[in-house]
Amino acid sequence: MDCGFRNGDGWFRYRAAAIIIEDGCVLFAKNELDSYYYSIGGGVHLGEKAEDAVKREVLEETGIAYEVDRLAFIHENFFEGSGTLDGFKCHEIAFYFLMKSRCTKELNSNSYSQGVREYMHWLPIDKLSDYIAYPSFFTDKLLNLKDGVEHIVTYEYNEV
C-alpha cells in the first residue's frame, strides 16, 4: 500500500524517485494518456524505506536492478493535477536518488502504471527545456549536480 491519500479535491503522495544518467541523458517515463514526461519512481509503501522503494520502482519500470549512489534532492511539490490527476490540488514529497551508472542505456522495460502502458525515454540533459518534463527543476539542477542533498520546494498552482 502506497503512502498517499485523496481527500476531496486534494491528493497527497510520498514518493521515491530515481535520477538515472547515461551518456549525457536522463531517463524519464511517459505514458499513453499524459502529455508530459515524468521521472522514474513511485509511491513508497507503508513501512518501506525510501531507498528500498526507489530500487523496487526502478526494477519495475526499467527491468534493471540499479544500485543507489546517493540521495540528491528532497522535493516538496505543490501543483494542479492534469491528465490522470485532473481536477486535484496535489501535494507530493519526493526523495530523488542518484543511481549508479551502468554505462549503457539498454533497458528491459515492460512497464504499466495503473493499467496504462509506460515507455522509457532518454532525454538529453542539456535539452530538457525543450520537453514538458517533471520535475521541472531537473532542467537546471542536473547540469550542475552538487554534492550533498538539496531541498527544493515548488508551487505550480494555477491562479484563479
Question: What's the Rg (C-alpha) of the chain?
Answer: 15
The pLDDT value given to residue 158: 61
The pLDDT value given to residue 160: 45
- The residues of the chain scoring below 50 in pLDDT are 160
**Number of domains the chain is built from:** 1
SS3 assignment, position 133: strand
| pTM of the predicted model as reported, rounded to 2 decimal places | 0.92
Residue ranges making up the domain that contains 58? 4-156
Give the CATH number, domain containing residue 147. 3.90.79.10
The pLDDT value given to residue 23: 97
What are the grid coordinates assigned to 52, written together?
A: 528500498
The pLDDT value given to residue 44: 98
Nearest to 21 by CA among 91, 69, 83, 80: 69
